[in-house]
């Protein structure tokens, strides 16, 4: 059997869209888990969590708490302190609230989501 038509550009576009969707969905999974661990303070830190996709359709997402440039939220000065310093947090909340969920979930979620996205388009 031989090929009758080459759909390279179309396949390349679909795969790029699938990888971008995968990165955003993986970021959402990590963000949701992080919101379960972030210290509650007055809720500002919890509500500042966001997933931002890098410009130019590059499949890179940034998961951020604490605002600052490019996030659409004002900067929360204690966000880094609560992430990096151990403290007595209420309701089972903890430090390393972004690092731990990322380490625990990102790789397996990305693999699972990418497989589903590629099955959907191919």
Percent of the chain scoring above 70 in pLDDT: 86
For residue 98, the model assigns a pLDDT of 82
pLDDT, tens digit (0-9, with 9 covering 90-100), for 46-68: 788 888 888 777 888 888 888 77
CB atoms near residue 106 (< 10 Å): 16
Q: Mean pLDDT in the chain?
A: 83
SS3 string, the chain, reads CCCCCCCHHHHHHHHHHHHHHHHHHHHHHHHHHHHCCCCCCCCHHHHCCEEEECCCCCCCEEEECCCECCCCECCCCCHHHHHHCCCCCCCCCCCCCCHHHHHHHHHHHHHHHHHHHHHHHC
Q: Is the pLDDT of residue 8 over 90?
A: no
For residue 77, the model assigns a pLDDT of 76
pLDDT, tens digit (0-9, with 9 covering 90-100), for 91-107: 667 778 788 899 999 99
88 compared with 56, residue with greater pLDDT: 56
């Amino acid at each position: 059997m031989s090929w009758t038509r080459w759909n390279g550009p179309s396949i390349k576009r679909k795969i790029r869209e699938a990888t971008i969707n995968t990165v955003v969905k993986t970021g959402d999974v990590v963000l949701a888990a992080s919101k379960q661990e972030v210290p509650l303070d007055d809720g500002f830190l919890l509500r500042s969590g966001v997933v931002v996709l890098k410009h130019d359709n590059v499949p890179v997402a940034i998961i951020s708490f604490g605002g600052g440039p490019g996030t659409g939220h004002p900067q929360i000065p204690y966000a880094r302190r609560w992430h990096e310093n151990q403290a007595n947090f209420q309701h089972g909340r903890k430090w390393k609230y972004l690092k731990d969920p990322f380490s625990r979930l990102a790789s397996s979620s990305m693999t699972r989501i990418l497989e589903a996205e590629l099955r959907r388009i191919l």
